């Protein structure tokens, strides 16, 4: 259910690392809990942040939820398509529904995130 190539946080964000850069999004579990997503507040390109810092919000018909940075870094790119089509997060949370791409400050931080098996255990599966 949860892609094995991703790393996960207890706050239900995922991270996919490639060559010192990483893509960040929310998990399928998170989007399901939120329900129909109607707005995504994206971080600004160039913004630097610490691990665990709020980098944006997601608004659904049920609630507003914060998006937390899985690791420290700098925003390189945001998913502009979510401005027009926030429902992409519901439709493809681990693909086209990504939130931002970042340059990792400390690639070693990735090791502190959960793999798919540990994340599924967290969810009680």
Domain assignment of residue 57, yes or no:
yes
Domain assignment of residue 2, yes or no:
no
Domain assignment of residue 1, yes or no:
no
Domain assignment of residue 117, yes or no:
yes
Query: What tens digit of pLDDT does each residue of 57-116 get?
Result: 999 999 999 999 999 999 999 999 999 999 999 999 999 999 999 999 999 999 999 999
The Cα-based distances of 122 to 20, 37, 83 in angstroms read 27, 24, 31
User: Cα 45 from chain centroid?
Assistant: 15
pTM of the full structure: 0.94
pLDDT in the model for residue 8: 98
Does the pLDDT value for residue 123 go beyond 90?
yes
Domain count, the chain: 1
Domain assignment of residue 68, yes or no:
yes
Domain containing 81 equals 7-122
Domain assignment of residue 106, yes or no:
yes
Give the residue from 13, 9, 15, 2 showing the smallest Cα distance to 58. Answer: 13
- CATH number for the domain spanning 77: value is 2.40.50.100
pLDDT in the model for residue 125: 62
Contacts of 121 (CB under 8 A, 6+ apart): none
- Cα gap 40→55, rounded to integer Å: 11
- Residues paired with residue 21 on neighbouring β-strands, in sequence order: 18, 103
Domain assignment of residue 80, yes or no:
yes
Query: What tens digit of pLDDT does each residue of 29-54 get?
Result: 999 999 999 999 999 999 999 999 99
């Amino acid at each position: 259910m949860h892609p094995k190539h991703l790393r996960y946080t207890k706050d239900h964000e995922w991270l996919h690392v490639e060559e010192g850069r990483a893509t960040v999004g929310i998990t399928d579990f998170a989007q399901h809990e939120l329900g129909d997503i109607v707005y995504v507040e994206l971080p600004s390109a160039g913004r630097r942040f610490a691990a665990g810092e709020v980098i944006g919000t997601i608004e659904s018909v049920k609630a507003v939820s914060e998006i937390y940075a899985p690791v420290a870094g700098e925003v390189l790119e945001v998913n502009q398509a979510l401005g027009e089509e926030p429902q992409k997060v519901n439709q493809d949370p681990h693909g086209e529904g990504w939130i931002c791409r970042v340059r990792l400050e400390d690639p070693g931080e990735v090791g502190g995130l959960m793999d798919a098996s540990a994340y599924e255990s967290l969810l009680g599966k």
